[in-house]
Structure 1
Amino acid sequence: MNILLTSVGRRAYIIDYLRDVYKKLGLVGNIIATNSDMNTTAMSVADKAFESPIIYDEKYIPFLLEICKSEKIDMLISLFDIDLMILAKNKSRFEEMGVKVIVSNEDIINICNDKFEMLKYLKKINMPVPKTYIDLEEALKGADFDKNSYILKPRWGMGSLSIFEAENKKELEVLYEKAKRSIQKSYLRFESGADIDRAILIQEKIKGDEYGLDIFNDFKGENLTVTVKRKLAMRSGETDIAKVIENRELEDIGKKIAESLKHIGNLDMDILFDGRKAYIIDMNARFGGGYPFTHSAGVNELEALIRLCKNEKVNDLSVKKYGLFAKEIAMLELK
């Protein structure tokens, strides 16, 4: 089996996990990576690595199709939000070649990538959401800074890029312009450029404990497992230390989203719990930076994907080890 990982960035651990699965199942094949920057850890450890055009380049999809043909790819997994929509739009072209693309349909990707659409979706299924503005003038009129501070974040955002906290109206005005400039200087400008005056969400800050959920569905959108982690430390928008826990209330929320959304593969979801309500603050229809904690707890979703692709019985996806886990920074010499 040959697997293509697109926009791999720093997720070298995904390649290590896949190699373990290959060894366990006796599989032969290559794990191939693409990225627009060759100087990343994942590109260095892959069996083969190819520098790709940027995602919005008209040559991007033809480039991936050629890789799939020349390298006899069986399954394609993307690890980057911006990649997901263009893959969803072109999914049939890959599947005509016999490549299984692990990406949900366009409607689901839009709900996850467009955080304003995500909030509308959550309201529709009666999930609590923070008070949110998408218009600066409305926020200046309606925001109650005597009771709350407000988070500014990109409508089409990821990680911790261009996120600010305003504690009064003057800060809100200044930070709104700063966020807009920051977006226009980053890769977030591609999505945000379509509606730059409605590209920033102004959201009441929820005070509470933060949790991450990995919600795994099969190729029919049926839920197979939900893994809950309490986040204890963050770095650059990713979880650094987390505790894998058993929490029926949050698991039920994950299952509700899975049954409603009908995504395929993994959904990475962030929740803030204020002691009364659980607020979903982010959803990403891919493997996220919190997946290593799920994997370390014995929930091997990558093995499940391979088994599903081969029409085999799925492995046990229950948590084998609850407890505290931490990421470690390691040095690698790049090829």
Structure 2
Amino acid sequence: MNILLTSTGRRTYLVEYFKQALNGNGKVYASNSNYTYSLSQADDYVLTPLIYSDDYIPFLLEFCIENKIDIIISLFDIDLPILSKNIDVFKAHGIQVVISSSEVIDICNDKWLTYQFLIKNKLTTPKTFVDKNIALEAINDGGLAFPIILKPRWGMGSIGIYKADNIEELDVFYNKIKSEILNSYLKYESEGTIDYSILIQQCIKGKEYGIEVINDLDTNYVNTLCKVKLAMRSGETDQAMTVNDQSLITIGQNLSEKLKHIANLDVDCLEENGDFYVLEMNARFGGQYPFSHLAGANLPLQIIEWCRGKKTNLDNVTIDYDVLCSKDIKPVIINNGN
């Protein structure tokens, strides 16, 4: 079995996890639009056109056919909508894209759709506005209080996230985020809706938690893996401890049943006064997954076994509790000049 991980970026650990899971019974290929260390750690790699290029999907398809790829898994939010809309293109050549439906991807990538989905399904989430005028009315009426959070409607990590303590800061940060959107890859999602591409959100003060909601490839609920986040860096979990929290597990099961995603759903939650708020969802491996892996889970192996037609092995989707883990910085040589 040969696997292609697309848009690997800096997620070298996932390349390693999949290679370990295959255990020599196939190869792990990696792709990215620019060279990164993660590519060098795969069995082989390829540099692709930009995701939004018309050549991207034809290029990937040709590469997959030439290298007898069986499975494609993307590691990047912006890649997901493109791949999800082309599942059948790859399926026609016997290539399985392990990805949720386009509807699920849209709900997760568009934070305004995320908010509407959570409200519709009675899952607690911070008050959120996409229309600045309506948000200002809510502030004047007392329905929204400072401090408030401003962030891009589309995006990932900590790109363009600011906390405003008053109207003046709100205006400054709103215009700053708009400028950042127009000068980054976020401009593609925001094209045509720039005046509705910034969210104004209630600020929840409390502990941060992360859950990974695991479904099988038929969207059936399997398990929820919970962590309390102890440190963050550039919008990613930098240190966390695994926990057993029934409230978070219940949230995970509800999300699974309502959303019907495939494989991993990475979810950010906040706790305030004993209440958990669902903040964001990512239908992919997220930055918190290494902590689950180090605590005993092996989702890469489970995905491979599902693709081989095997049933769920609970050992692959279960973690030990109270395991404290941290990411580290490891300098590496990309080219030694030879």
Equivalent position of 1:196 in the other structure: 194
SS at structure 2 position matched to 1:219: coil
Is 1:11 aligned to residue 27 of structure 2?
A: no
CA offset at residue 34 of structure 1? 0.7
Question: Distance in 1 between the 2:285 and 2:155 partners?
Answer: 16
CA offset at residue 20 of structure 1? 1.7
Corresponding residue to 1:288 among 276, 283, 286: 286
Which residues of 2 match residues 18-33 of structure 1 at below 5 A? 18-23=18-23, 27-33=24-30
SS at structure 1 position matched to 2:296: coil
Q: Residues 167 and 98 (structure 1 numbering): CA distance in 2 closer, same or farther, change over 3 Å?
A: same
2:207–2:271: 8 Å Cα contact kept in structure 1? yes
Q: Deviations along 1:231-253, whole A, 9 cap, x unmatched?
A: 00000110000000111110110
Equivalent position of 1:127 in the other structure: 123
Question: Distance in 2 between the 1:188 and 1:114 partners?
Answer: 11
CA offset at residue 141 of structure 1? 2.8
Q: Deviations along 1:275-296, whole A, 9 cap, x unmatched?
A: 2321111000000011000111
Equivalent position of 1:95 in the other structure: 91
Which residues of 2 match residues 1-335 of structure 1 at below 5 A? 1-23=1-23, 27-38=24-35, 40-143=36-139, 144=142, 147-315=145-313, 316=315, 317-320=317-320, 322-335=322-335
Code of the aligned partner of 2:65:
K
SS at structure 1 position matched to 2:21: helix
CA offset at residue 321 of structure 1? 5.0
Greater Cα shift, 133-142 or 106-115: 133-142
1:134–1:198: 8 Å Cα contact kept in structure 2? yes
Code of the aligned partner of 2:76:
F
Q: Deviations along 1:188-222, whole A, 9 cap, x unmatched?
A: 11101131100000001011111001111111100
**How big is the alpha-carbon RMSD for the aligned residues of Structure 1 and Structure 2?**
1.4
Question: Distance in 2 between the 1:286 and 1:254 partners?
Answer: 15
SS at structure 2 position matched to 1:161: coil
Moved over 3 A (4+): 144-147
2:30–2:42: 8 Å Cα contact kept in structure 1? yes
Q: TM-score under structure 2 normalisation?
A: 0.95
Q: Residues 145 and 260 (structure 1 numbering): CA distance in 2 closer, same or farther, change over 3 Å?
A: closer
2:145–2:202: 8 Å Cα contact kept in structure 1? no
Q: Deviations along 1:147-200, whole A, 9 cap, x unmatched?
A: 530110110111110111110001101110000001111111110113110000
Question: Distance in 2 between the 1:146 and 1:249 partners?
Answer: 26
1:3–1:73: 8 Å Cα contact kept in structure 2? yes
SS at structure 1 position matched to 2:73: strand
Question: Distance in 2 between the 1:58 and 1:147 partners?
Answer: 44
1:145–1:168: 8 Å Cα contact kept in structure 2? no
Give the gaps of 5 or more residues in structure 2. Answer: none
Question: Distance in 2 between the 1:103 and 1:32 partners?
Answer: 17
Question: Distance in 1 between the 2:145 and 2:213 partners?
Answer: 34
1:34–1:50: 8 Å Cα contact kept in structure 2? yes
Question: Distance in 2 between the 1:194 and 1:269 partners?
Answer: 28
Q: Residues 146 and 307 (structure 1 numbering): CA distance in 2 closer, same or farther, change over 3 Å?
A: closer
CA offset at residue 63 of structure 1? 0.6
Greater Cα shift, 180-189 or 145-154: 145-154
1:145–1:167: 8 Å Cα contact kept in structure 2? no
Question: Distance in 2 between the 1:247 and 1:194 partners?
Answer: 42
Question: Distance in 2 between the 1:198 and 1:112 partners?
Answer: 17
